[in-house]
Amino acid sequence: MIELALHHKIGLSLAHPIMIASGCCGYGEAYQGLLDLSLFSALVTQPITLRPQRVTPYPRLAETKAGFVLNTGLQNPGVRKVIQQHRKSWFRLETPLVAHLPADEPDDLRRTAQALAGLRTPQGHPALAAFELGLPATAGPPDVSHWLGAMREGTELPLLVKVPLGAAPELAEAAAKAAADALVVGAPPVGAAVVGPSKQILAGRLYGPAIHSLALAELRRVAAQVDLPLIAVGGIHSLADAQQFLEAGAAAVQLDSLLFIDPRAAAAIAGAFSQPE
């Protein structure tokens, strides 16, 4: 077992290190019937906000030589609708669920966390295992403290903080000081690509194998700064990629782009870790 919240009274224990990153499996339903989600140690939802966020207009995806650029924004129906539409499937899900909350007004974060943390299974257990706070590239240390403080008011569940690749070193330290239970390193960088014959420029998050090197360097830097469990994410497309992060100090890893390109290969990586020794 892997413990990602060492000093938390509830804790966050994973059966093995392979997780699904935010935005790569919807709210847990995207691959049901195609993949055995129980192979993965945890699943992070796509963003959830207090109020509905509009759908990002097309185009949203553009391929590049390095991978692909994706821009789905923070689109979601708001926390109330998310709970109404997905609570029953969450109760049936065999994989621990982590809710991803993007940075927002502190009171909105508190209310969103509170609504989700209050969700209980028919057996009376929390439907969620933890929360993941997504930091924007423009965040500063005071922001991190305010956001985490607001979420602590809304929930007693463990809190993970996802820092952007290339973020200021102070962000990881601020998250540690604000009592984050673990850090996710990190949110993919912003890229741009030309889309089709129209030559329209699409700006969004850059995904693909090339991100592995950036994330590995960032993981090493953050590991030297803070004494927290670290979760690596970015460009993991093989079992060897995952093992490199673990050998560099990550307690767990999240798969992202591979789930779009070859979901069965992602399941195979998880399966390699979930097999009993």
What sign for the dihedral angle of Cα 104, 105, 111, 117?
positive
Q: What is the pLDDT of residue 167?
A: 85
Angle between helices 263-274 and 239-247 (to 10 degrees): 50
- pLDDT tens sequence across 135-167: 998 999 999 999 999 999 999 999 999 999 988
Mean pLDDT of the chain: 93
Q: What is the pLDDT of residue 276?
A: 58
Q: What is the pLDDT of residue 7?
A: 79
pLDDT at 275 over 70: no
Q: What is the pLDDT of residue 190?
A: 92
Whether omega for the bond prior to residue 118 falls within 30 degrees of 0, making it cis, is no
Q: Whole-model pTM?
A: 0.95
- Which backbone phi and psi does 212 adopt, to 5 degrees? -55, -45
Domain ranges of the chain: 2-55+73-188+208-274
Q: What is the pLDDT of residue 20?
A: 97
CATH topology of domain 2-55+73-188+208-274: TIM Barrel (3.20.20)
User: Which has more pLDDT, 104 or 66?
Assistant: 104
Tell me the average pLDDT across 245-266: 96
